[in-house]
Structure 1
Amino acid sequence: MSYHITALDELVEQFEKLPGIGHKTAQRLAFYVLGMDLTDAQLFADTMVRAKKTIKRCQVCQNLSDSDTCAICADTTRDKSTICVVEDPRDVFAFERTKEYFGSYHILGGLLSPMDGIGPEQLFIKQLLARLSSGQVKEVIMATPPTVEGEATAMYISRLIKPLGVKVTRLAYGIPVGGTLEYADEVTLYRALEGRNEL
């Protein structure tokens, strides 16, 4: 008969639900939490719950924000004539690290993947098209990853945008095929941004 502590097993199970966390790492994290004093453990738990309750989607670009409009959309110094379209908020953080892009963003919330049941209606494509109706936007940069899903998404959206008379470009391939923006270094991202091509 193996030795079990129900509360510990449940804590390990919760950590195992996180992406990239296997059983041994989950166990290590659970023991780390048990080693914290109660005040720190409570602060850790409260911070997670507070983040979940207060962080929402920006009404303009769908980025994560603690207010209705994110800091990037609210910044009057940003170039509103260019929108960089990305898969998720992590990609915005990657671009912002380059300190070379001063336009705005639009987060799709995923990529087209019929095999996984993700069609256009599951993504924030309608919201992107609504932003283009003002006539202020001159260029949309498709910065989806160079994967099958990323390419399909970029092509689908570019076909919707082109009739509106807005220039659509694609990131140049400084980013390896199959790679994700989140793990690309600043120089690679900057070169990809600089060498973007029209679709």
Structure 2
Amino acid sequence: MLLSNTDFPVYLEVVDIKIDRKFLAEKDAEVLEDLILAAVNNAITKAQQLVKIKITRLAYGLPAGGDLEFADEVTLWESLDGRREVHP
């Protein structure tokens, strides 16, 4: 089974699955692989919809890679208060 993470922040999709064909007829194995891929990807999508992760960025005052330890309290509050949602 191969998982592909192709989108930020969290997009997962099963893109390939292999079933040992010695246990099934050739036609049956292909159908079963397609059904499993569809079911797993459907379950992943539903789980992600339930989670609804919200990503925000700080408004201003804090440099990228800056250490919060050195930021003053007013700058921290204003950065958090004015933060904006990030849409992937």
TM-score (structure 2 length as normaliser): 0.38
Structure scoring higher RCO (CA < 8 A, sep ≥ 6) equals 2
Judging by fraction of residues, say which structure has more strand. Answer: 2
From the CA coordinates, give the structure whose radius of gyration is larger.
2
